C-alpha cells in the first residue's frame, strides 16, 4: 500500500484503487485494536481480502467488533489497555452501514449522510408530510454516531432538533436554516 496526498491506495492493473481505513476490534483469542481498509472496488482488507458479505459474516460470528466486554483487555500497538467499562461509539449495524457508505463515498455516490442532507433541504423548501416521512426514514437509517450533520453537538444541530425535539418548522426558521447551512434564499 502507498499513500498519495494522504490518500491510501493500492495498484491494480496499473490503476490506483483508493481506500480508507476504519478502526475495528478483532476478537481472536483476545481483543485487538486494529484497522480494516475499505477500497473503492468494494473489497476490504481484513485478514485477507473480503467482500462486504464476508465482513458481515465476521461481525455476525463475533470476530469483528465495535465493543469489548466489561473488564476485558484491549491490546493495541502501544500495549494493553485494561478497562472496567468500554463505551462503544457505534453498534455493529452502524459499523456495516459505515463501510457501505465509505464504499459509496469513494465512488462519488450518495451516502446515507448526503441523502439525508438532500432530503432535509427538500423538506425545508417544501415541508410536506411526504417529505417529512422521507427525511425521517433517511435520518433513522443513519449510523447512530453520524446523526449530527451540521453542528458539533446535537443540541445545536437543526436536523437533530427537528427529528428529536420535533421543533416547529416555521417559515422564518426554514429560511434561516436554508440560508445558514445551504446558502439558499427561500
CA distance 30 to 9: 30
Q: Which residues of 98-118 are buried (b: 16+ CB within 10 A; e: fewer)?
A: bbbbbbbbbeeeebbbebbbe
- Residue located via cell numbers 450533520: 149
User: For the chain, how many helices (H) and strands (E)?
Assistant: 6, 9
Extents of the domains making up the chain: 2-106, 112-182
pTM for the full model? 0.89
Q: What is the pLDDT of residue 3?
A: 41
Mean pLDDT (the chain, rounded) = 92
Reported as a single tens digit per residue, the pLDDT across 84-131 is: 999 999 999 999 999 999 999 999 999 999 999 999 999 999 999 999
Amino acid at each position: 500500500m502507498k499513500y498519495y496526498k494522504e490518500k491510501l491506495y493500492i495498484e491494480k492493473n496499473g490503476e490506483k484503487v483508493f481506500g480508507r481505513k476504519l478502526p475495528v476490534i478483532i476478537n481472536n483469542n483476545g481483543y485487538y485494536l486494529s484497522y480494516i481498509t475499505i477500497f473503492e472496488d468494494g473489497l476490504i482488507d481484513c485478514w485477507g481480502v473480503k467482500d462486504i458479505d464476508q465482513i458481515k459474516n465476521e461481525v455476525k460470528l463475533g470476530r469483528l467488533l465495535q465493543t469489548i466486554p466489561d473488564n476485558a483487555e484491549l491490546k493495541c500497538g502501544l500495549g494493553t489497555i485494561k478497562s472496567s467499562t468500554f463505551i462503544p461509539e457505534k453498534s455493529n449495524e452502524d459499523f456495516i452501514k459505515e463501510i457501505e457508505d465509505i464504499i459509496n463515498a469513494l465512488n462519488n455516490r450518495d451516502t446515507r449522510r448526503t441523502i439525508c442532507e438532500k432530503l432535509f433541504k427538500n423538506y425545508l423548501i417544501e415541508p410536506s408530510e411526504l417529505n417529512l416521512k422521507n427525511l425521517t426514514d433517511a435520518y433513522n437509517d443513519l449510523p447512530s454516531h453520524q446523526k449530527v450533520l451540521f453542528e458539533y453537538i446535537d443540541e445545536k444541530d437543526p436536523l437533530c432538533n427537528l427529528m428529536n425535539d420535533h421543533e416547529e418548522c416555521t417559515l422564518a426558521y426554514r429560511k434561516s436554516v436554508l440560508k445558514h447551512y445551504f446558502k439558499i434564499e427561500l
